[in-house]
Amino acid sequence: MIAQVYSRAVASELKLTLMNEYPDEHPVALVEAAGTAAQSVTWLPLYAIDRQDVGPLSTLYLAPMESGSSFENFQATIARLRSPEGCPWDREQTHGSLRSNLLEETYEVLDAIDREDLPGLREELGDLLLQIILHTQIAIEEGDFQMHEVLAGIDAKIKHRHPHVWGTTQVAGAAEVIQNWEAIKRGEREANGHAERSLLDSIPTTLPALAQSYAYSSRVKRVGFDWDSIEGVRAKVAEELAELDAADSPEERAMELGDVLAALASLARWLEIDPETALRESNQRFARRFRRVEALAREQGVLLEHLDIAALEQLWQTAKTQVG
């Protein structure tokens, strides 16, 4: 029950807040003058509460959510899986054994985003949440930390690092927000006795190499370690390609190729392109086109390995036209 829904403006703000957690069509009741002779009850969907006449004696009743739809209920589900009466497989898991699962679910979320598959994204976010709650449940059982500490920690961190939202700091735009963010993080490190940490320390060493290079380049840019213009980046790419051509040994070629890829990651940053996403999408295009090449060959009754490069190229160009 939510009392003092005394105006349509209040009802509108309340509706928007509740619709972050409740479906638009969730059943609610507007109760007028409860406990008096003039009492009335009007059932309606949540989205319509600001379309009704309300006053000082208006109260909103929210019907319970469907079973299984709350965060706390899902926590209880995972706790049951880990209990002696639960699942043997789940009971055996550790932070380390779940590492690959966490990584796999993260990439499946990214795949759903790349495919613009919103129903798939909803499902994959649930799978990722499962991993987060599993890790937290393991920590609870081992006495390390609890979910309320996880939530309180990230909530406090976000608010502390956004003083322009939860404070009086004024910012001119996103660039100033990033500058403030780094200054605040530096202050946090000093307060925790880690003032000498590198700017790069918070970038995970387990990131895919291309994404890690992009992250390093973006991070050092914040302190001015960058080219003056994109022409300098292009020149760096050309320089690294020349050094790759001049390399004599396999070890030197591997090192120089790494430098080429790092320079390309910096070029991607200057072009405001995420190189990991760009390469993943290029891989998807290649796979889509090559599968079409295989299908075209089957339709023509030929084997790919029996075709010369000219015939393969013709199939490839046809596939590009047909599937993009």
Is it the case that residue 44 has pLDDT exceeding 90?
yes
How would you classify the pairing of strands 27-32 and 40-45? antiparallel
Q: How far apart are CA 14 and CA 272, in angstroms?
A: 39
User: Topology of domain 209-273, per CATH?
Assistant: Helix Hairpins (1.10.287)
SS3 16: helix
Looking at domain 8-62, what is its CATH homologous superfamily? Tetrapyrrole methylase, C-terminal domain (3.30.950.10)
pLDDT for the residue numbered 202: 81
Residue 67 neighbours by CB under 8 Å, 6+ apart: 73
Of 7-16, 18-27, 270-279, the range with the lowest mean pLDDT is 18-27
Instruction: Over range 71-84, report the average pLDDT.
Output: 93
User: Who wins on pLDDT, 223 or 315?
Assistant: 315
pLDDT at 114: 86
244 phi and psi angles, rounded to 5 deg: -65, -45
Structure tokens at 60: 């909103």
Identify the helix (H) or strand (E) that includes residue 61.
Answer: strand 58-62
For the segment 224-238, the average pLDDT, to the nearest whole number, is 96
Rounded distance between C-alpha atoms, residue 282 and residue 269, angstroms: 17
Q: With pLDDT > 90 as the criterion, what percentage of the chain qualifies?
A: 78
Strand partners, 31: 41, 59
Task: Answer yes or no: are the C-beta atoms of 207 and 164 closer than 8 Å.
Answer: no
Place 128 in a pLDDT band, splitting at 50, 70 and 90.
very high
191 SS3 class: helix
Q: What is the pLDDT of residue 186?
A: 81
pLDDT value at residue 206: 85
Q: Is the pLDDT of residue 66 over 80?
A: no
Share of the chain above pLDDT 70, in %: 99
Confidence band for 196, pLDDT divided at 50, 70 and 90: low
pLDDT band with cut points at 50, 70 and 90 for residue 175:
confident
Report the distance separating Cα 112 and Cα 130, nearest Å: 17
Q: How confident is the model at residue 106 (pLDDT cuts 50, 70, 90)?
A: very high
Q: Are 51 and 21 in contact (CB under 8 A)?
A: no
**Which pLDDT value is given to residue 193?**
76
Query: Cβ of 192: how many Cβ atoms within 10 Å?
Result: 9
- Would you tell me how many other CB atoms lie within 10 Å of the CB of residue 7? 14
Claim: this prediction has a pTM higher than 0.85:
no
- Token output for 147: 């979910």
Average pLDDT over residues 102-131: 94
The string of pLDDT tens digits covering residues 132-159 is: 999 999 999 999 999 999 999 999 999 9
Q: Give yes or no for a contact between 268 and 261, defined as CB atoms under 8 angstroms apart.
A: no
| Cα–Cα dist 304/243, whole Å | 37
Please state whether beta strands 58-62 and 27-32 pair in parallel, antiparallel, or not at all (unpaired): antiparallel
Query: Is 116 strand, coil or helix?
Result: coil
- Per-residue pLDDT, averaged over 68-87, amounts to 91
pLDDT at 60 (0 to 100): 94
What pLDDT score was predicted for residue 231?
Answer: 97
Contact assessment for residue 29 and residue 60, using Cβ atoms and an 8 Å cutoff: yes
Tell me how far apart the 2 most distant CA atoms of the chain are, in Å: 95
The highest-level CATH class for domain 71-159 is mainly alpha
- Per-residue pLDDT for 195 more than 70? no
Secondary structure of residue 34 in the 3-state scheme: coil
